[in-house]
Every structure is written in C-alpha cells, then in structure tokens.
C-alpha cells in the first residue's frame, strides 16, 4: 500500500493527466445528473451511474501512471 501512495505522488505524464481530467469531468457530470431534483427517465439515471463508475476508475488508473525518468 505504501508503494501505491508513493507512486501516486510522482509526476504523471501529460497524456494521463488529460485522461484523469476527462474521468473527473465524467464523474462530476454524472453526479450532477444523479443529484438532480427533477424526475429524470430511468435510462438516464442508469447511464449516469455507469458514467460515474467509468469516470472514477479512469481517474484512479491514470493517476498511477508515472513518468519514467532515465538515469
């Protein structure tokens, strides 16, 4: 567990930062849809749930990518 935390603190390559940000955006949009006070169709709620999971997993996985520094 300690190595995962150290890895997540290291520098992330530009591509994976972009992927992480897209994942965070997906998760935020789906959270806004799920928290909406308006009655929405069931299919939209279901899709928002899947987007939340996909965004969260994408963000977590892309954060663990590290820039390989040559010595």
pLDDT in tens, 10-60: 888 899 999 999 999 999 999 999 998 899 999 999 999 999 999 999 998
CA distance 22 to 32: 15
pTM value is 0.77
Q: How distant is the alpha carbon of residue 7 from its chain centre? A: 17
pLDDT on residue 32: 93
Confidence at residue 52, expressed as pLDDT on a 0 to 100 scale: 94
Residue 69: band (very low, low, confident or very high) from pLDDT cuts 50, 70, 90: low
pLDDT of residue 21: 93
């Amino acid at each position: 567990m300690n190595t995962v935390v150290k890895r997540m603190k290291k520098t992330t390559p530009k591509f994976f930062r972009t992927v992480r940000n897209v994942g965070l955006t997906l998760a935020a949009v789906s959270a806004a849809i799920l928290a909406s006070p308006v009655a929405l169709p069931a299919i939209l709620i279901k899709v928002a749930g899947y987007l939340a999971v996909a965004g969260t997993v994408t963000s977590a996985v892309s954060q663990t990518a590290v820039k390989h520094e040559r010595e």
